[in-house]
């Protein structure tokens, strides 16, 4: 099987590594890719937002399976363009990707499917916003309806801050916000591999979203992650498949937009059970990185079965004993800004440690020197016998890497911190 991965980040590098490890996969191509992927994949230039360019490339390399990593091309319909050429693609159609592309749409689907989630109201003006804020009370949760690259959500006890964020979002043409009930409890990421009608769950993981230790500071794309969640109920994945994923797949089918790809269920484990915080239509980054490290089943075979609508032909994925931890190394200024061109050292030494992969997220080559080229620069992922062992190995390897302005958290997977962090609230 020849595979083509679309994207440039850590998620795509981790996917490329896992695909390359599948004996059924004969070639791994990536576009646009990054310097880390070049070790295991053939890189190609492409505009990931152009369906016809991606489909042309897939034809040119003879891809049997295309995996579209990020949400923006999926929402733009890139998977439809590839599918229209008769090439199998793991990733939802543009209409199914609205589960992530529009918070209001996803809330509507959840309501119709009876999925447990926060109560919510969609608002397009200040009076509606004020009424909704007062109906739910503090802490206030205000979400931009549109894709906002992780910056669209404000969770705060400060009513003025909530009103100001809503005003900013609704001031744009057609701008709407979703105001919702605050969900109290640790957050968990559950990835469901879906073929339109059936789904297999991957092992749950946890992502550390804030920039600073102890869950302080602004939200980021994710500063680290780990699996398994030894503290969570052992039937969590099964419960989420039954209460969330299968009803959602049925509702999407009923609407004529069957969901094929990764349904990323962001959950809060509240006192009254798991509640959906959000749906995404792709793997989480870095949340999926440790999950792929412990995946015991061949990834290409699994994703190809989903893309072909025959997931029932493959067994549910298995997972190795032990644990994996990923620690993200970010550049100066992240998440408000990022720093480019700083020289990175120590990547080879870190990657030579047993069970460690150095995953590239925002790197570039300047001549033959590896330099920073984004907010999240690298992710150091380690396998271990348990979470504490994997964590120690990840940090020992990460200690070998340096670049000017390097930022990282020191408490990734230091349980029970991840448990208490939950949904962090800013005080305004």
* Residues in contact with ligand GLY by the rule CB under 6 A: 207, 221-222, 280, 284-285, 287
Phi and psi angles of residue 223, each rounded to the nearest 5 degrees, phi first: -105, 0
Which pair of structure tokens corresponds to residue 237?
A: 């994945």
55: closest CA among 35, 28, 73, 37? 73
Q: Show the tokens assigned to 366.
A: 């300047």
**Contact region for ligand AMP (CB under 6 A) — 181-189, 238-246, 255-263, 375-383?**
181-189
Q: Counting contacts by CB under 6 A, is residue 153 touching ligand AMP?
A: yes
Q: Provide the token pair at 267.
A: 């959950």
Nearer to ligand GLY, 222 or 317 (CB): 222
Closer by beta carbon to ligand AMP, 71 or else 251: 71
Residue closer to ligand GLY, measured from CB, 144 or 285: 285
| 3 state SS of 231 | coil
Find the binder of ligand AMP among 22, 71, 180, 285 (CB under 6 A): 180
What, of ligand AMP, ligand GLY, none, does residue 278 touch, CB below 5 to 8 Å by kind? Answer: ligand AMP
Interaction with ligand AMP in 110-149: which residues (CB under 6 A)?
118, 141, 143
Burial 326-360, CB ≥16 within 10 A → b, else e: bbbbbbbebbeebbeebebebbeebbebebbbbbb
Quick one: 145 exposed, middle or buried, by C-beta within 10 A (0-12, 13-18, 19+)? Answer: buried
- Comparison of 266 and 346: residue with beta carbon closer to ligand GLY: 266
Cβ 386 to ligand GLY shortest distance, Å: 23
Shortest gap between Cβ of 406 and ligand AMP (angstroms)? Answer: 24
Kindly report the backbone phi and psi dihedral angles of residue 400, in degrees, each rounded to the nearest multiple of 5, phi listed first.
-80, -15
Find which of ligand AMP, ligand GLY, none residue 357 binds, CB within 5 to 8 Å per kind.
none
Cβ at position 291, least distance to ligand GLY in Å: 12
Verify binding: residue 393, ligand AMP, rule CB under 6 A: no
Looking at the chain, how many residues does it have? 428
Note whether 118 and 103 are within 8 A (CB).
no
342 binds, among ligand AMP, ligand GLY, none (CB under 5 to 8 A by kind): none
**Positions in 198-237 near ligand AMP (CB under 6 A):** 209
Q: How far is the CB of 207 from ligand GLY (least distance, A)?
A: 4
Contacts 24+ apart (CB under 8 A), 251-259: 251/109, 251/112, 251/113, 252/96, 252/99, 252/109, 253/196, 253/197, 255/109, 256/95, 257/93, 257/95, 257/96, 257/98, 258/96, 258/196, 258/197, 259/92, 259/96, 259/99, 259/194, 259/196
- Stretches 23-31, 178-186, 196-204, 346-354: which one binds ligand AMP (CB under 6 A)? 178-186
Instruction: Considering only residues 245 through 264, tell me which ones interact with ligand AMP, judged by CB under 6 A.
Output: none
71: partner contacted, choices ligand AMP, ligand GLY, none (Cβ within 5-8 A by kind): none
What CA–CA distance (Å, rounded) separates 248 from 113? 6
Please report how close the Cβ of residue 5 comes to ligand AMP at its closest, in angstroms: 24
Q: How far is CA 208 from the centre of its chain?
A: 12
Q: 165: which strand partners?
A: none
Integer Cα distance of 257 and 234 in angstroms: 32
Q: Which residue is nearest to ligand GLY (CB)?
A: 222
For the bound state, the minimum distance from the C-beta of residue 288 to ligand GLY, rounded and expressed in Å, comes to: 8
Tell me whether strands 376-384 and 356-360 are parallel, antiparallel or unpaired.
antiparallel
Q: Which is nearer to ligand GLY, 195 or 287 (CB)?
A: 287
Of ligand AMP, ligand GLY, none, which one does residue 141 interact with (CB within 5 to 8 Å by kind)?
A: ligand AMP
**Which of 6, 65, 155, 329 touches ligand AMP by CB under 6 A?**
155
- Cβ pair 92, 79 in contact under 8 A: yes
Q: Which residues are CB-neighbours of 24 under 8 A, at least 6 positions away?
A: 1, 298, 300, 301
* Identity of the residue, 209 or 400, whose beta carbon is nearer to ligand AMP in the bound complex: 209
The token pair that represents 347 in the structure block: 């990547």
Residues 270-299 that bind ligand AMP (CB under 6 A): 277-278
Q: How far is the CB of 225 from ligand GLY (least distance, A)?
A: 7
Residue (88 or 324) nearer to ligand GLY, CB: 324
Q: Which is nearer to ligand GLY, 148 or 352 (CB)?
A: 148
Q: Which does 222 bind (CB under 5 to 8 A by kind): ligand AMP, ligand GLY, none?
A: ligand GLY
Q: Which residues contribute to the site for ligand AMP (CB under 6 A)?
A: 118, 141, 143, 153, 155, 180-183, 187, 209, 266, 277-278, 423
């Amino acid at each position: 099987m020849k595979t083509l991965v679309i994207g440039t980040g850590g998620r795509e590098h981790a996917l490329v590594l896992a695909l390359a490890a599948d004996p059924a996969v004969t070639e791994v191509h990536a576009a646009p890719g990054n310097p880390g992927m070049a070790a295991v994949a053939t890189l190609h230039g492409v505009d990931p937002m152009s369906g016809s360019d991606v489909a042309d490339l897939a034809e040119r390399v003879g891809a049997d399976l295309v995996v579209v990593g990020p949400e923006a091309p999926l929402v733009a319909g890139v998977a439809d363009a590839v599918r229209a050429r008769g090439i199998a693609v793991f990733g939802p159609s543009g209409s199914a990707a609205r589960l992530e592309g529009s918070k209001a749409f996803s809330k509507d689907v959840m309501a119709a499917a009876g999925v447990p989630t926060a109560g919510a109201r969609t608002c397009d003006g200040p009076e509606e916003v004020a009424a909704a804020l007062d109906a739910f009370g503090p802490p206030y949760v205000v979400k931009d309806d549109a894709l906002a690259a992780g910056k669209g959500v404000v969770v705060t006890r400060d009513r003025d801050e909530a009103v100001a964020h809503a005003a900013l979002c609704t001031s744009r043409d057609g701008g709407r916000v979703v105001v919702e009930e605050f969900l109290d409890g640790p957050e968990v990421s559950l990835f469901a591999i879906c073929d339109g009608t059936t789904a297999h769950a991957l092992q749950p993981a946890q992502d550390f979203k804030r920039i600073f230790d102890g869950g302080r500071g602004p939200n980021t794309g994710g500063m680290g992650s780990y699996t398994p969640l030894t503290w969570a109920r052992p039937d969590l994945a099964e419960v989420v498949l039954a209460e969330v994923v299968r009803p959602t797949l049925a509702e999407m089918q009923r609407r004529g937009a069957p969901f094929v790809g990764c349904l990323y269920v962001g959950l809060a484990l509240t006192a009254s059970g798991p509640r959906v915080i959000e749906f995404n239509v792709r793997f989480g980054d870095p949340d999926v990185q440790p999950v792929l490290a412990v995946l015991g089943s061949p990834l290409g075979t699994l994703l190809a079965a989903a893309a072909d609508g025959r997931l029932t032909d493959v067994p549910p994925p298995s997972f190795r004993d032990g644990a994996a931890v990923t620690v993200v190394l970010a550049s100066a200024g992240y998440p408000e800004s990022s720093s480019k061109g700083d020289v990175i050292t120590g990547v080879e030494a870190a990657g030579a440690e047993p069970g460690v992969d150095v995953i590239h997220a925002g790197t570039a080559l300047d001549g033959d020197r590896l330099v920073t080229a984004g907010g999240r620069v690298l992710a150091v992922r380690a396998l271990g016998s348990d979470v504490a062992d994997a964590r120690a190995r990840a940090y020992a390897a990460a200690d070998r890497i340096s670049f000017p302005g390097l930022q990282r958290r020191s408490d990734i997977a230091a349980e029970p911190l991840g448990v208490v962090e939950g949904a962090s609230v800013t005080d305004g």
